[in-house]
């Protein structure tokens, strides 16, 4: 059985929550997810708090700015980047205060290199994805920035075991050559699996913490995630069609962050859906609570605060239920 960096029967959130109050969001997460907590993200606060702006804020010596409503590489740091940095610092200060004495597993999230490359514009126009050299520079810059971020979180919450989640919603489109150009009339050239895994592995090997790759889009690239040396894959359980790559990933020791979002938060229903998948795969029941973490299917920024709190609580209770084997 693989040695994975979270306790049996764990549950966690994907990252984003509704609202603009980071203090309340952190209280909810620490209260409802005591075994595998995470640093909340609040996209409702606007530019610099959403996935691309926040993720680009980790880049080292590669400043970004907003131009015509899109993030692009800039010649020098400006007000947009300062806002992004200030929001993250405020979040980390709140984490430091509320997680004082925390000794569980703590997850932080950031956009991965392929999602950033598919979303950030070059100064001359076009996505960074069009230029392999720019993608390589972006990846190296992100790897260093996230290494510093993980080290900072460790200093702030010294009793925690830190995990890093790389959010890669654009990865399937990058691999399939389906990222549209600015005109929308064509798409950027597909990236092959080994190249995609190499860039991910650059980040995984640099950060000094176990990495989870999250993608709640269809066609999760299981082999790419395995080849990246990530410790786990986070996915939407309802989108799993082919069980073979899931079984191969489990056999290889990959952890699964299984995402379930029912219309009404119900820990029994969530636990049953996770158990059903495991039973279809045919693995021993005793491995389930060690290798699987229960999560919502994706971020919860569009939900109400009461629903988000109830769902996180239900995921935690579902984790307890699947431990009862």
Nearest CA to 211 out of 144, 269, 150 is that of 150
Concatenating the DSSP letter of every residue in 198-239 gives HHHHHHHHHSSS-EEEE--SSS--HHHHHHTT-SEEEEEGGG
Report the 10 Å Cβ neighbour count for 21: 17
Q: Is residue 273, in this structure, part of any structural domain at all?
A: yes
Count other Cβ atoms within 10 Å, centred on residue 188: 19
Contact 292, 274 (CB under 8 A): yes
Specify whether the CB–CB gap between 256 and 273 falls below 8 A: no
| 223 shares its domain with 258 | no
Per-residue pLDDT of the chain (325 residues), as tens digits, is: 668 999 999 999 999 999 999 999 999 999 999 999 999 999 999 999 999 999 999 999 999 999 989 999 999 999 999 999 999 999 999 999 999 999 999 999 999 999 999 999 999 889 999 999 999 999 999 999 999 999 999 999 999 999 999 999 999 999 999 999 988 789 999 999 999 999 999 999 999 999 999 999 889 999 999 999 999 999 999 999 999 999 999 999 999 999 998 888 999 999 999 999 999 999 999 999 999 999 999 999 999 999 999 999 999 999 999 998 6
Helix H or strand E segment including 295: strand 292-295
Helix H or strand E segment including 14: none
- Count Cα atoms within 13 angstroms, Cβ side, for 107: 33
| Judgement on whether residues 206 and 66 belong to the same structural domain of the protein | yes
**Do residues 242 and 196 both lie within one domain?**
no
Distance, CA of 3 to CA of 23 (rounded, Å): 33
Alpha carbon dihedral 172, 250, 37, 120, in 10-degree steps, equals -20
Both 112 and 207 in a single domain?
yes
Q: Do both 120 and 266 map to the same domain? A: no
Q: Tell me whether residue 284 is in a domain.
A: yes
> By C-alpha distance, which of 8, 13, 19 is closest to 310?
13
How many structural domains comprise the chain? 2
Largest CA distance in the chain: 58
Q: What is the pLDDT of residue 1?
A: 60
Query: Are 56 and 89 a contacting pair, CB within 8 Å?
Result: no
Q: Which of 230, 253, 268 is the last residue of a domain?
A: 230
pLDDT score of 238: 93
From the number of C-beta atoms within 10 Å of its C-beta (0-12, 13-18, 19+), residue 123 rates as exposed
DSSP class per residue in 235-254:
EEGGG----HHHHHHHHTT-
Neighbour tally for 133: CB within 10 Å: 8
Evaluate if pTM is beyond 0.75.
yes
Tell me the C-alpha distance between 296 and 273, whole Å.
Answer: 12
Six token digits for residue 256:
């699964």
Q: Is the same domain home to 214 and 306?
A: no
> In whole angstroms, how far apart are CA 67 and each of 84, 123, 210?
15, 10, 35
Is residue 238 located within the same domain as residue 216? no
Nearest to 175 by CA among 191, 186, 160, 189: 191
Residues 178 and 52 both lie in one domain: yes
Determine the distance from the C-alpha atom of residue 168 to the mean position of all C-alpha atoms in its chain, rounded to a whole number.
7
The range of the structural domain enclosing residue 323 comes to 1-19+233-325
Q: Could you give the CA distance from residue 276 to residue 289 in angstroms, rounded to a whole number? A: 13
Neighbouring CB atoms inside 10 A of 240's CB total: 15
Both 186 and 303 in one domain: the answer is no
């Amino acid at each position: 059985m693989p040695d994975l960096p979270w306790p049996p029967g764990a549950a966690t959130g994907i990252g984003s929550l509704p609202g603009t109050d980071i203090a309340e969001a952190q209280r909810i997460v620490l209260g409802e997810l005591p075994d595998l907590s995470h640093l909340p993200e609040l996209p409702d606060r606007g530019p610099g708090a959403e996935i691309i702006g926040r993720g680009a804020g980790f880049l080292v010596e590669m400043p970004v700015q907003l131009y015509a409503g899109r993030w692009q590489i800039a010649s020098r740091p400006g007000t947009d980047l300062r806002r992004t940095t200030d929001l993250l610092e405020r979040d980390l200060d709140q984490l430091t205060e509320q997680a004082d004495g925390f000794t569980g597993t703590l997850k932080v999230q950031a956009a991965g290199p392929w999602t950033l490359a598919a979303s950030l514009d070059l100064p001359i126009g076009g996505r960074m994805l069009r230029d392999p050299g720019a993608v390589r520079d972006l990846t190296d810059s992100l790897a260093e920035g996230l290494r510093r971020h993980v080290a900072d979180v460790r200093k702030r919450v010294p009793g925690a075991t830190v995990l890093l989640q790389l959010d890669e919603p654009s990865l399937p489109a990058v691999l399939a050559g389906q990222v549209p150009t600015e005109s929308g009339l064509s798409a950027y050239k597909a990236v092959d699996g080994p190249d995609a895994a190499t860039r991910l592995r650059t980040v995984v090997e640099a950060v000094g913490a176990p990495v989870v790759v999250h993608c709640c889009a269809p066609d999760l690239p299981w082999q790419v995630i395995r080849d990246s040396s990530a410790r786990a894959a986070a996915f939407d359980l309802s989108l799993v069609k082919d069980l073979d790559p899931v079984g191969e990933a489990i056999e290889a020791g990959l952890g699964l962050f299984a995402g379930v979002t029912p219309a009404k938060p119900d820990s029994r229903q969530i636990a049953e859906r996770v158990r059903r998948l495991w039973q279809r795969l045919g693995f021993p029941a005793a491995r389930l609570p060690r290798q699987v973490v229960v999560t919502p299917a994706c971020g919860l920024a569009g939900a109400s605060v009461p629903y988000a709190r109830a769902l996180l609580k239900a995921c935690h209770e579902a984790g307890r239920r699947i431990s009862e084997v």
